[in-house]
Amino acid sequence: MPVYKCNECSHEYVQLSQPSNCEVCNANDFEIIEEKTNLRFRQVKKSIPSILEKTIIDESLIKPSSLWSPMSKFAKFQDDSLFQQVSKPNWGEWSVWNTNYSPYNIFKSDYSLDVKKVNGPNSCLYGILTTIQETKVLNCYYLFITSNGHFSIGKRSKKNWKHHVNRKKHSSIIQGNNINTLRVVTEGNLITGFINGQKVHSFRDNFYPYKSSDIGVYSTSNKEGNGVAVYFNKIKVITTIFKD
């Protein structure tokens, strides 16, 4: 804050701009004599937390591991992948990778993997689950596709599916019995889905954003009990946390 001194009577003024006239002698001849800090407005500099990015999982080939818990009874490890095919009518099953790494200060989670459909109905959904909380009831975000080119993305909570997009056609999906790369990034309350490197949708969860590094896979069956047969592979999870 500048200090203005009247050259006539030496009265001082601590203010942002030069006074028009001295309130003591009415002169208008001033000079700046020093800069002073008004302690009443001094701001305490807050320490900025450092950011730590940690790769939780980076598996080019998914192998049997105790971290898969719970694991669906319809899932098994074969051909260096996790294979899942549901055989119960109108049903969806999940297998969860419990990373045991869920600090309270998670800011961002980046989860991707390859899904390869090899058999089964074209209309059945399959895909990934992310930032899973309470694995038994499956509170999480999700990104699913079908082999006929549709995708769904949203939030599951209290055993209810809240679709932000439900079975929408998208050109990024490689249809048929092929490999697709699915990715979901959660950053704060912003959730963004990608298919084969292309952003397909994003939404904000302003109610109760989930924060976790636990992830999973999901697949479904039709009313006849025919499930989509899917291989899950090349799983990668990168978590960013604030470190005090």
For domain 2-41, give the fold.
Rubrerythrin, domain 2 (2.20.28)
* CATH H-level superfamily of 50-243: Exo-inulinase; domain 1 (2.60.120.560)
Where do the CATH 2.60.120.560 domains begin and end in the chain? 50-243
- Does the pTM of the predicted model rise above 0.85? no
Check if the beta carbon of residue 56 is closer than 8 Å to that of residue 238: yes
Burial (CB count within 10 angstroms: exposed 0-12, middle 13-18, buried 19+), residue 191: buried
Query: Quick one: which of 198, 199, 203 has its CA closest to 187?
Result: 203
Spatial neighbors of 66 by CB under 8 A, at least 6 apart, are: none
The residue type found at 235 is I
Where do the CATH 2.20.28 domains begin and end in the chain? 2-41
pLDDT by residue for the chain (244 residues), tens only, comes to 567 777 876 767 666 667 777 766 677 887 877 654 443 434 444 455 567 778 888 877 777 788 888 899 999 999 989 999 999 999 999 999 887 765 667 888 999 999 999 999 999 999 999 999 887 788 999 999 999 999 999 999 988 999 999 999 999 999 999 999 999 999 989 999 999 999 999 999 998 889 888 999 999 999 999 999 999 999 999 888 876 5
